[in-house]
Copies of this chain bind each other. A is one copy, B any other.
Amino acid sequence: MVNIKTPVIIINSKAYLESTLDNEVRLVKICEEIRNEHGVNIMYAPQMVNLAYIAKNFNIPCLSQHVDAIEPGAKTGYTSLESIKAAGAIGSIINHSEHVITFREAEFIINRAKNLELIICACADNINIAKSLAALNPEMIAVEPPELIGTGIPVSKAKPEIIEKTVEEVYKINKNVLVLCGAGISTGEDVKRAIELGAKGVLLSSSFVKAKNPREKLLDLISKI
């Protein structure tokens, strides 16, 4: 079992114009500094094509935004776990609401990741899917109601029972999984509330990546933990 310092803040830069390479460098520098100064466990998931560049040039744990269920080989344009590890990532997000995968893919990836000592954060649209993923034993499960993603309406306020119930139900199936939450988290208050409800961390994206002042925003986001 991997030891992940909690609460964990995962920043997913998605495929925004605001996170193409030069922009992403600015964003990751902010994360790197705040991580070091404040001792908060911030992980950063850069754009796929930026992964090695970011992971090798900055001192922050990086996740891949996605990884394919493949062995290394003749698979043009696909990305193996071995490749993200060599690129410097410590693991990967999988099954994000914007990039859902099959049971077979998830099972393959989660097992192979363990052999490679990579960590997996599997995303779930709802409690049922969180339970289903828990049975496959990823290190983290992030529950994110897709209808709240990018809205600024925090799941911790709009549907607090989703967090509480997911924590409860996931732990019945698998006690080793850290339950995170995402979707709409955009203030320090939202993060605090999520943690009070039982989440071990949060998954953030637009609130930071598209912020007018990303540094201030991130400082606010971590201010109450």
Contact residues of A with B, CB < 8 Å? 12, 14-17, 20-23, 47-54, 56, 64-66, 68, 70, 72-80, 82-89, 93, 95-107, 111, 124-126, 128-129, 131-136, 149-150, 173, 205-206
Shortest distance in angstroms between A76's beta carbon and chain B's nearest beta carbon? 4
Copies of this chain per assembly: 4
- Of B53, B75, B77, B206, the contact of A52 (CB 8 Å cutoff): B53
A50-B52 CB under 8 A given contacts A15-B78, A72-B15, A129-B103: yes
User: Which residues on B sit within 8 Å (CB–CB) of A20?
Assistant: 72, 82-83, 85-87
User: Which residues on B sit within 8 Å (CB–CB) of A68?
Assistant: 15
Query: Can you list 6 contacts pairing A with B, beta carbon distance less than 8 Å?
Result: A22-B86, A49-B89, A53-B56, A102-B102, A103-B103, A106-B132
- Of B74, B82, B100, B136, the contact of A132 (CB 8 Å cutoff): B136
